[in-house]
Amino acid sequence: MQNENLIVQRAKSGDLQSFEQLVTLYSHRTYSAAYRILNDQGLAEDCAQEVFLKVFNKIGDFDGKSKFSTWLYSVTTFTAIDLQRKQIKVQQREGTEFEDIHGNEAHSPQQQLHQDKLNQVTQGALAQLSEELRIAFLLRHHEGCSIKEISEILDVNGNTIKNRIFRAISQLRNLLKSKVSDYETVD
């Protein structure tokens, strides 16, 4: 594979093949980041498509001061947040709830039930966090972004990011402690 910076420069100059290489390189990570925020396969797919449309139209705006992946995560994060807000408005109008969609791996029915309950408890706890705490936590612990990268993505001071992640972990610990103890007494 060619040097990423060279691919980006060629894509910026209008080379469609180079842009396709960027899509190939980053489509899974973009979808994964969107899914962590949206918790819905269909919305995450829509988000990833929208992200690459935005990137295609705005790649000329990428100044190279940060890594391309950092810029892409920023576009993905804000696109996912916008989609989530739109989805919430639609649901409020329709009076429906989000459905949890989880990948089906080969598990016994009992293991799958246990995994589904655990996913539900975890997603429920994440959903109770404020948006700013949830996004910082997910970018750090699910996407593996550094504090500096998250700071660049969200355009927030690094110390603020550290504080958000600390508060998210603390709140999740408290939320999950009560949920897990309730869950363990049910089983």
Query: Cα 82 vs. chain centroid, distance in angstroms?
Result: 12
Q: Phi, psi at residue 66, to the nearest 5°?
A: -120, 175
- What pLDDT does 98 receive? 41
CATH number at residue 78: 1.10.1740.10
Out of 75, 99, 123, a domain closes at 99
Per-residue DSSP letter, 105: -
- DSSP annotation string for 137-166: HHHHHTS---HHHHHHHHT--HHHHHHHHH
Question: Is 93 in the same domain as 111?
Answer: no
- What pLDDT does 94 receive? 58
pTM over the 0.85 mark: no
CATH number at residue 141: 1.10.10.10
Is pLDDT larger for residue 102 or for residue 85? 85
CA distance 50 to 54: 6
- What pLDDT does 153 receive? 83
Question: Is 115 in the same domain as 92?
Answer: no
Residue 101 in this model has a pLDDT that exceeds 60: no
- What pLDDT does 103 receive? 47
Among 93, 69, 76, 92, residue whose Cα is nearest residue 38: 76
Question: Is 1 in the same domain as 75?
Answer: yes
Residue-wise pLDDT for 54-77, tens only, equals: 999 999 888 888 889 888 988 998
- What pLDDT does 23 receive? 93
Instruction: Please name the amino acid found at residue 73.
Output: Y
Residue-wise pLDDT for 118-167, tens only, equals: 777 777 888 888 888 888 888 888 777 889 888 888 888 999 999 999 99
